[in-house]
Structure 1
Amino acid sequence: MLPNRIYIIFKAAALLLLLCMAAPAFSQHLHGQVVDPQHTPIVGANVIWQGTTTGAVTDGNGNFGLSYADATTASIVVSFIGYRPDTISVAGKELITVVLQPATNIKEVVVEGQLQRLSAISPANSQLITNRDLEKSACCNLAESFETNASVEVSTTDAISGAKQIQMLGLDGAYTLLTTDNIPTLRGLATPYRLNYLSGTFIESIDIIKGMGSVLNGYESISGQVNVKLKDPDKTERLYLNLYGNSRAKFDANLNLSAQVTPKWSTVLMLHTDHLGNRVDRNNDGFMDLSLGTQYNVYNKWKYEHKDVMSEFGVNALQETRLGGQMEYEKREPEGPNQHFGTESGTDRISFYNKSSYTFPGKPYQSIGLITSAAHHKFNSLFGRRNYSGEQNSTTARLIFQSVIGHTGHTYKAGLSYTHDDYSERLSDTSFARTEQVPGAFLEYVYNNSKNLTVVAGSRVDLHNMYGTVFTPRLNVKFDATPNTIFRVAAGKGFRVANPLAENTAALVSSRRFVFREALQPEQAWNVGGSFTQYFELGGRPGAFITDYYYTTFQNQVVADMYSTPQLIAFYNLKGRSFSSSFQAELQYEALKGLEVKTAYKYYDVKSTYNGQLEQRPMIPQHRFFVNLGFATPFDKWRADLTTQYFGLMPLASMEQQHNADLSMRNSDQFFVLNGQITRALKRWDIYLGGENLLNYRQPSPILGAGDPFGPNFDASMVWGPITGRIIYAGLRFKIN
């Protein structure tokens, strides 16, 4: 069946290619590599168009790409701490190599990049996870791509289904806008397993933006944006093979193939499959520690470039099946006294996007572009004796015009957008359906005095067919007090329509009943915050100190109340306060040549009003520590990485508690998680060996009432720590550049 589906997908891709041959596109691009005098690639160098704040950060091979549409002059500025910045004319060039010379004094350096790829040119508080960072851990999928980054947490939602979610600024992943190549994706009903739907081998880099972000990407972002940049057809390896296996008998196979088909056309085909068929129960509670599953994932991207025209489109098809539950559970067991508890899910997804634009001749600062996307997502799942199924069909379109006001110190982007979402869900005998149609308009103005101040002010107005007019203002300000001292301030509003079933599937793995007390209204929140960044040199080696604080307050929120009454989860609109305070302090330093140290402390104060009482939100630690050590020998022949995380106490809402006036709660334990990996690089091969949860810490009794899974006290949703114990893995990568 699968080969027929793949044949249909590629046939559709070929047809789409013919349809898009005449599509206008973005603009001609400049590609290059930044190296030191020994021609060793420099990772994390900043390359920006002179006189602008638009640029790129070099990847794990020192490569970068820029669009001439963003240029105001035909010169670029290249910089990296410890090296002298250089201004280079690139008129008429498409491919260059930049050699940076070591600096003898840090004062000679205009610092715009740093360890761990901190962005010093972005007005927003942004960090970049490069391809090299991704290779520091297994990174089989997006869920495992944040292990060496302190800004984003990934947690398991329950002890049976295998679903994971991210957290940012103390808020659930639903409040973080996930985009691929700056196109919103994996929204709505895809939320429960969306981190598994992007293979790590598809990813070139990940940009993490705290705060509201740009109005160009819509109104849904509240806590931040995670933008996943996928492999670029004309910059990625000609061949990339990755094979992975671990001690739980999970196997991954990945193959990327790219080709320059003609001087104007390039393509990349990315294939991924993974399989886990081994049943393991190390804590002897009668349930599998990990859900079984198989996934097939195909992604094909095409790119066209010619003079002032560029077009890019891609198609993605995915099929996944999962099975979890008791060790003896078999698929679709009949109901009865001897029935075992199990979870099942089957997902079929196909999506498509196109990005096209035209740059006006003689005006590299002025362009017009069209971005469109479409997705079909369908799933069927079973949680014990409850069936949950759904289907989502979505289309989006954005028309963007970019130009200047007088000169390039004043630029703006204006445009129109349209979003169509058609949802249908069914939980047991209850159906839920809605259709959202949202036309909108947006304007974003950028002021840059070319010295030390950048202001980005934007707003959008959307006409929601169900909820009326939605106004979304946002502001980002960046001030460079010195070349090494940067202040940022951000404020804005977010709006989103919640999907309470898809966003709370963990509660389905329990005996809780789902109760909707009233018609749910859209969620609205304000986010205000800022950051301080100080670059420094100590003992001749570079470092950076970063601290930030963000406060999010909800005007309305869909409350998922598991506190007030045992044995149910009640959904209702917020009546009272709900807020999140997030503080983070981070220190990065090159302690020795080749040894990078990153340490961070995070404090969260996240509260919501439950049944008239303000309480800490469950499953969120108030205190968290993070330490990452990365070491590489000259020429990267050996690389080693070690990450330690400490998680403080978390409040829990237990099925066993009794209803009382003060809603008293129990807490989780405190614990540490240690991950590590070592890599040996050969000519074209990388061989890696690593371990997750090396201290073998496991949450005691992650499943409450495991002996009676259909009884009133069964609950597998209170997962606050690791449940699988130590995992050892190994793999190899083969590349032809």
Structure 2
Amino acid sequence: MRETFTFIIIFLFQIGFSQELDSLSISEITTDSIKFFNKKNTSKSIETVVISKPNRPKKKSNSIIPIEIYTASFLKKTKNNNIFDAVGMINGIKPQLNCSVCNTGDIHINGMEGPYTLMLIDGMPMLSALSTVYGLSGIPSSLVERIEIIKGPADASFGAEAMGGSINIITKNPKYAPKLSLDFSSSSQAELNLDIASSFKINPKTTSLVSLNHFYFGNRIDVNHDNFTDTALQHRLSIFNKWNIERQKNRRASLGLRYYYEDRFGGEMSWQKKNRGGAEVYGESIYTNRFEAFGLYDLPTLEQITALFSYNYHDQNSYYGNTSFMANQQVLFGQLEWQKSLGKHILKSGIAYKLSKYDDNTPATFKNSDTGNLLDRSLYGFFVQDEWQISTSKALLFASRIDYDTEHKMIHSPRLAWKFSPNPQHVLRASFGKGFRVVHVFTEDHAALTGSRDVIISETLKPEESYNSFVNYITQVKLGTAHLNIDLSGFYSYFTNKIIGDFDTDPNKIIFKNLDAFAVSKGISLNLDMLWTSPFKINFGISYMDVYQKETNEKIQQLHAPKWSGVYNLSYYFPKNWILDFTGQFYGPMRLPILEDDFRPEYSDFFTLANVQVRKQFKHFEIYAGIKNLLNFIPKNPIMRPFDPFDKHTNDPANNPKNYTFDTLYGYASMQGLRSFLGIKWELKSKKF
């Protein structure tokens, strides 16, 4: 490992440096217009600029679709090494732990599981079904300029599969990024993380950014003494390269490349590589190799036409005990967009194509000995959209999208959005739409891959369909010397079909089938930002959700969907550039997958994950230190019968009268307790090229 870190440092120091520059600082933004403090503690007013796809920049206040924006300064308030952990500090978004052994997970928006969230990098869909589980932790937070979040149905160019919403990760612009930056941190549990990035100019019009992230955690910890690792061991390497080319008439061209490797293991403390795939010592071991490419190009035409593309290749070699899962997926996406302003109308239309090639070693993809396990699927899309600025206070968005799937044929997804803003202090937005999603059970539901249960697909699975609505109200109130920003949202999604794993019918099985009745996801969320003329700031968010399905007049709450959840963030800016951050998340009771006659409660207790961090900023570097999980919260009994992971002794009436079996799905939060961390970040800042 030491040799790897040395290689990375030498590699980046060999990149040529041309000149010394000042970096462009971007303030933390969460509402349309906020007050922020500069070094002299004077206040300035700014407006958010957002790119909600790789279209032309647009003020957030002019956007008809409600968009939340979180910049790099927000992500710095608590030390997180990757996007999966970082977005947990956003109200209404929950990084969900799906396995108590290998600690993989996905991101929930407003209670809807990870596959309902469209993940994008620089506006291009990059995270395929396989990487919904494993790829999120491979995006270092140090690479991020800002995160744009849309909850609920978006405009038609996003596609119909963003049923829960979208998370658009905007990476740093090489033109403004530091010429060289280094961020190294370690924790009391021996987690090591290194981020190194360099931006440089090839010629007056071409700039590039190279970034390397290396994360290593090899410390086997077993605090609850169940003979299983509390936290999965991980070795991750991510290499990112981005190119921007400035062209005549403000036309753009960009290309991004990323390679990601991960070796992840969780299991019995005595497990070694030689036990991989065996039935003597239980371990869950996953090797992941992933490559991504994405870009955009403005065509040299009189009309504003942009070509977008993305490609990702994902190879997974994994064992869950003695159950193997070998999968390979390739996704190619291309879209051609045309946009034109006509008076009060902004017209947009486009065509899209998505090719998915998927292959694994499960019975779900087996055809016959001649064709093998290959599963190919093409999706053709066409959309039209009209943004109509009726007046200075009113705007409407009409959109229609038609997608043709090679298996499910024609699917229509309309969109409607409305905005009313009588003055800059009040903005009301509403959006409605229909969505669909083609289900890939094995690539999306990690529970289907665990060695503790068999997977049963009882019928041919149809695509999921839903009707989605979202309402958002933003206002700003002055309270003496303080400014209060209020962001209130309500959402409602009705599913006519939803594929949900049945964990209740048989404790040894997960049964997948089409929904017999309907499912609902509804709720309300509130965000409050309080700023004073003093160097003190408070962010607080709370959400209430009711996510359930109804079959044969029985209401069944969705697993891992707490009705109450929220976030809190208190920051104090001391003299001489000292900053204190107190952050955290809290979750109310959530339903958990239990076995028949399980001694563990069906609903979790209320818990909070609190963190404290101190930062000191110098001219070219910053030091930071803190404590995570300040209250040392650790879930109880996340694994059933960890002493018999291969169920060799379940038929034992004397010692196992209730016939419990090994099960890893009960865990709902990380087993990492209280731990400290320390880090240093150094930057050689840059002027604008």
By the TM > 0.5 criterion, same fold? yes
Distance in 2 separating the partners of 1:110 and 1:387: 53
Is the aligned partner of 1:586 residue 2:522?
A: no
The residue aligned with 1:392 is 329
The residue aligned with 1:491 is 432
* Partner-residue secondary structure (3-state), 2:241: strand
Is the aligned partner of 1:652 residue 2:592?
A: yes
Distance in 2 separating the partners of 1:290 and 1:33: 38
Distance in 1 separating the partners of 2:231 and 2:27: 40
Residue 225 of structure 1: CA displacement? 0.6
**1:670-702 deviations in Å (ceiling 9; x for gaps):** 222211211111111110112221100111111
Residue 397 of structure 1: CA displacement? 0.8
Distance in 2 separating the partners of 1:335 and 1:624: 39
Residue 720 of structure 1: CA displacement? 1.9
Residue 665 of structure 1: CA displacement? 7.8
Residue 645 of structure 1: CA displacement? 2.7
* Amino acid in structure 2 at the alignment position of 1:423: Y
Residue 722 of structure 1: CA displacement? 3.3
Distance in 1 separating the partners of 2:395 and 2:300: 24
* Amino acid in structure 1 at the alignment position of 2:628: E
Residue 396 of structure 1: CA displacement? 0.9
Residue 412 of structure 1: CA displacement? 0.9
Is the aligned partner of 1:501 residue 2:442?
A: yes
* Amino acid in structure 2 at the alignment position of 1:594: P
Structure 2 CA distance for partners of 1:411 and 1:101, relative to 1, 3 Å: farther
Distance in 2 separating the partners of 1:592 and 1:641: 18
Structure 2 CA distance for partners of 1:535 and 1:112, relative to 1, 3 Å: farther
- Equivalent of residue 488 in structure 2, options 522, 534, 547: 547
Is the aligned partner of 1:148 residue 2:85?
A: no
Distance in 2 separating the partners of 1:138 and 1:166: 18
Structure 2 CA distance for partners of 1:101 and 1:478, relative to 1, 3 Å: farther
* Partner-residue secondary structure (3-state), 1:672: strand
Conserved 8 A contact 1:392-1:424: yes
Alignment coverage as a number of residue pairs: 640
Conserved 8 A contact 1:246-1:730: yes
Is the aligned partner of 1:696 residue 2:638?
A: no
Distance in 2 separating the partners of 1:429 and 1:415: 34
- Equivalent of residue 377 in structure 1, options 310, 314, 322: 314
Is the aligned partner of 1:640 residue 2:580?
A: yes
The residue aligned with 1:677 is 613
The residue aligned with 1:605 is 546
The residue aligned with 2:72 is 131
Residue 634 of structure 1: CA displacement? 5.3
**1:326-364 deviations in Å (ceiling 9; x for gaps):** 100112417777x11100011111111220004766xxx
* Partner-residue secondary structure (3-state), 2:203: coil
**1:692-713 deviations in Å (ceiling 9; x for gaps):** 2110011111111112111261
The residue aligned with 1:93 is none
Residue 612 of structure 1: CA displacement? 7.1
**1:555-613 deviations in Å (ceiling 9; x for gaps):** 21112111222211100011111111121122211146221112222111111246873
Conserved 8 A contact 1:112-1:121: no
Distance in 2 separating the partners of 1:647 and 1:110: 33
Residue 413 of structure 1: CA displacement? 1.0
TM-score (norm 1): 0.82
Q: Name the structure, 1 or 2, with higher relative contact order (CA <8 Å, separation 6+).
A: 2
Is the aligned partner of 1:722 residue 2:662?
A: no
Conserved 8 A contact 1:324-1:342: yes
Distance in 2 separating the partners of 1:335 and 1:620: 33
**1:291-333 deviations in Å (ceiling 9; x for gaps):** 1121111111111112223210111111111111010011241
* Amino acid in structure 1 at the alignment position of 2:457: F
Conserved 8 A contact 1:158-1:716: yes
Residue 280 of structure 1: CA displacement? 0.6
Residue 505 of structure 1: CA displacement? 1.4
The residue aligned with 1:188 is 129
**1:143-200 deviations in Å (ceiling 9; x for gaps):** 1222432131112111111212211111111101100111011111212112212111
* Amino acid in structure 1 at the alignment position of 2:535: G
The residue aligned with 1:523 is 464
Is the aligned partner of 1:713 residue 2:657?
A: no
The residue aligned with 2:175 is 234
Conserved 8 A contact 2:245-2:252: yes
- Equivalent of residue 340 in structure 1, options 281, 285, 300: 281
Is the aligned partner of 1:329 residue 2:271?
A: yes
* Amino acid in structure 2 at the alignment position of 1:684: H
Distance in 2 separating the partners of 1:241 and 1:331: 33
Conserved 8 A contact 2:402-2:410: yes
* Partner-residue secondary structure (3-state), 2:270: coil
**1:407-433 deviations in Å (ceiling 9; x for gaps):** 2x2111111111100111223897454
Distance in 1 separating the partners of 2:408 and 2:283: 39
Conserved 8 A contact 1:563-1:610: no
- Equivalent of residue 733 in structure 1, options 666, 676, 681: 681
Matches within 5 A, 1:299-338: 299-308=240-249, 309-333=251-275
- Equivalent of residue 304 in structure 2, options 367, 370, 387: 367
Matches within 5 A, 1:400-419: 400-405=337-342, 407=343, 409-419=344-354
Structure 2 CA distance for partners of 1:674 and 1:81, relative to 1, 3 Å: closer
Distance in 1 separating the partners of 2:122 and 2:393: 28
- Equivalent of residue 420 in structure 1, options 355, 358, 380: 355
* Amino acid in structure 1 at the alignment position of 2:626: G
Residue 385 of structure 1: CA displacement? 1.3
Conserved 8 A contact 2:276-2:285: no
The residue aligned with 1:96 is none
Matches within 5 A, 1:1-400: 43-44=28-29, 80-81=34-35, 119-308=60-249, 309-333=251-275, 339-358=280-299, 366-400=303-337
Structure 2 CA distance for partners of 1:692 and 1:279, relative to 1, 3 Å: same
